[in-house]
């Protein structure tokens, strides 16, 4: 693909996880290699918590330093060997002062770490008769926005629950992003109702591509992921969606669509900033 091209080929890997970290990482590595051979993507994305079961009791045990830990080193090598960008899902990260984060790493074709996003909004919910989850029992929240650039296109990174916070997506749009990628693991309570809705809403509000990558559904797991990894375009149209099992989703997306939608429905020059605003604060 030429550097100036607006077309980018994506591969989303919806992967099944297990309690065996090494097996999970090797599965991801093998699937990346196969997908590169078959589809020649520019960018490959992985699911949230792809090397670890999704559960607060597991995060510290599976946590690794970034970029020195095993999973980071494997992702760096496979990106370099295959000359591909990788949005490496998420892994539990062992950070400063012994804090643990739910973190997405992004790797370039040189094997370099291009960015690291720590989930900003921790998934603490209690839906009666549905699901209770409290990430803050063991995780700390990140404080930084993460934008990477691929072939001149800015891409914002968020993680799962982050998608519910429209201000974050707006700030990415205001910073020039044309796509937001969310590694994510919705569940069987909120998934059917909110998964597609939130993606189409963020895409529609901000006139950009939204990409999510979920683990495959495993009904024997303690946390059952919804699946349905998805690509939504700036018209809020679902371009491609996976089912529930392990799946490889490949698609060419055209960034020219971003400008077309923004010109035809010029929300961002029509906003009444004299009456309201969304502002970034530093912490």
Ligand X SMILES: O=C(O)CCC(=O)C(=O)O
* Least Cβ distance, residue 89 to ligand X (angstroms): 12
- Per the annotation, the verdict on 104 as an active-site residue is no
Q: Which two tokens stand for residue 180?
A: 């937001």
* Interaction site with ligand X (CB under 6 A): 48, 123, 160-161, 164, 185-187, 190, 194
Q: Which is nearer to ligand X, 107 or 123 (CB)?
A: 123
21 catalytic residue (yes or no):
no
Task: Give 41 or 53: the residue with its C-beta nearer to ligand X.
Answer: 53
List 31, 48, 52, 93, catalytic entry: 48
Smallest separation (angstroms) from ligand X to the CB of 112: 27
- Closest to ligand X by CB, 160 or 179: 160
Least distance to ligand X, CB of residue 190, Å: 3
Cβ proximity to ligand X, 39 vs 194, nearer residue: 194
- Identified catalytic residue from 160, 177, 178, 247: 160
CB of 229 to ligand X, least distance (A): 14
Cβ density class 158-185: b for 16+ within 10 Å, e for less: bbbbbbbeeebbbbbbeeebbbbbbbbb
Please state, in angstroms and as integers, the Cα–Cα distance from residue 125 to each residue in 133, 152, 188, 190, following that order. 5, 38, 14, 11
Report the nearest approach of ligand X to the CB of residue 254 (Å).
29
Burial (CB count within 10 angstroms: exposed 0-12, middle 13-18, buried 19+), residue 131: middle
> Which of 93, 119, 135, 177 is flagged as catalytic?
119
Give the separation between CA 266 and CA 167, rounded to whole angstroms. 19
Residue 177 annotated in active site: no
Residue 47 makes CB contacts below 8 A (sequence gap 6+) with 13, 14, 15, 17, 89, 90, 183, 184, 185, 213, 214, 215, 225, 229
Cα–Cα separations (whole angstroms), residue 212 to 14, 48, 80, 260, 283: 10, 9, 23, 23, 27
CA distances from 201 to 14, 166, 209, 210, 262 (A): 22, 9, 11, 10, 15
In total, the chain counts a number of residues equal to: 283
Residue closer to ligand X by CB (options 123, 172) is 123
**Residue whose C-alpha is closest to residue 92's, from 120, 146, 52:** 52
> Catalytic amino acids?
48, 119, 160
């Amino acid at each position: 693909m030429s550097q100036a091209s607006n077309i980018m080929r994506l591969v989303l890997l919806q992967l099944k996880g297990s309690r065996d970290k090494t097996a999970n990482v090797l599965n991801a590595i093998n699937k990346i290699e196969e997908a590169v051979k078959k589809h020649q993507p520019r960018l490959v994305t992985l699911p949230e918590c792809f090397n670890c079961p999704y559960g607060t009791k597991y995060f510290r045990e599976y946590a690794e330093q970034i970029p020195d830990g095993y999973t980071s080193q494997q992702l760096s090598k496979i990106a370099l060997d295959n000359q591909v960008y990788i949005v490496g899902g998420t892994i539990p990260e062992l950070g400063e002062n012994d804090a643990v984060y739910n973190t997405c790493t992004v790797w370039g074709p040189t094997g370099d770490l291009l960015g690291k996003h720590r989930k900003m909004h921790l998934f603490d919910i209690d839906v009666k008769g549905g699901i209770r989850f409290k990430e803050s029992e063991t995780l700390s929240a990140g404080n930084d926005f993460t934008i990477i650039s691929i072939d001149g296109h800015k891409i914002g990174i968020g993680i799962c629950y982050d998608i519910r916070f429209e201000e974050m997506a707006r700030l990415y749009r205001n910073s020039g992003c044309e796509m937001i990628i969310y590694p994510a693991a919705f569940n069987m309570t909120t998934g059917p109702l909110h998964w597609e809705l939130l993606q189409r809403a963020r895409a529609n509000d901000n006139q950009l591509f939204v990409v999510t990558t979920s683990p495959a559904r495993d009904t024997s797991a303690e946390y059952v992921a919804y699946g349905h990894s998805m690509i939504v375009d700036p018209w809020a149209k679902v371009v491609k969606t996976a089912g529930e099992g392990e799946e490889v989703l490949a698609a060419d997306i055209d960034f020219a669509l971003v400008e077309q939608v923004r010109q035809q429905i010029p929300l961002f020059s029509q906003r009444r900033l004299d009456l309201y605003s969304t502002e970034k604060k530093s912490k």
